[in-house]
Amino acid sequence: DAGVTQSPTHLIKTRGQQVTLRCSPKSGHDTVSWYQQALGQGPQFIFQYYEEEERQRGNFPDRFSGHQFPNYSSELNVNALLLGDSALYLCASSLTGQGADTQYFGPGTRLTVL
Amino acid sequence: AQSVAQPEDQVNVAEGNPLTVKCTYSVSGNPYLFWYVQYPNRGLQFLLKYITGDNLVKGSYGFEAEFNKSQTSFHLKKPSALVSDSALYFCAVSVPRNFNKFYFGSGTKLNVKP
């Protein structure tokens, strides 16, 4: 049973560039959430996708956008990169409608902005 | 506003001794509570969760957690620590009917010494 997968593992960009991160959820899951984990901090919720729609959003600017595909995989896009966007980006999948939906996390994408 | 506090940045314990990692929360409504563990350069691994019922929850790798509603706490415990338990531990809370948006604490680094 494949768990949550993310690509790429590492990424280096320069300020002002745009980046796309990808996530495939755990088999059977239909919901994908994205988190940003800065060094030494806990994960911060960016947004969540269900049925190809963004249904919940955290306190992140519009430079952060996403998409969910019919196969439930998801992308996170960040435009106009800032140095402060350097972080580990975590994708988590879950199954909506199962009570307390445990979120299962992927290994993350380490983004470095120079 | 929902929040999670992990008052200890680091916990040191000798192998074979019991360990406790503390977590307190502040939410409106009844919370769902989770513990995750993160090893270096890895994503978060689910340990256990509390939804309702028995205040003592058992999880993976011999870990357990005790829910205390009056103290709004959800401390992680293990009767006998192993060196391999050394990692970063995160407490998280979600609120029912909030589409499973997770709020994480800042993390506690557990060091288990031989």
| Structure tokens given for A34 | 């994205």
Work out the minimum CA distance from B77 to partner chain A, whole angstroms: 20
- What's residue A24's pLDDT? 97
Residue B40's H or E segment, with its range, is none
| Structure tokens given for B76 | 């992680």
Is A54 within 8 Å of A47 (Cβ atoms)? yes
Beta bridge partners of B90: B36
Taking Cα atoms as reference points, which of A114, A82, A77, A91 lies closest to residue A3? A91
- What's residue A43's pLDDT? 95
Out of B42, B100, B106, name the one closest to residue A103 (CB): B100
pLDDT at residue A7 above 70? yes
Is B34 within 8 Å of B91 (Cβ atoms)? yes
What tens digit of pLDDT does each residue of B38-76 get? 998 778 999 999 988 889 999 999 999 999 999 999 999
Taking Cα atoms as reference points, which of B51, B62, B38 lies closest to residue B94? B51
- What's residue B2's pLDDT? 83
> How many angstroms separate the CA atoms of A72 and A5, rounded?
12
What tens digit of pLDDT does each residue of A35-79 get? 999 998 999 999 999 999 998 899 999 999 999 999 999 999 999
Work out the minimum CA distance from A49 to partner chain B, whole angstroms: 10
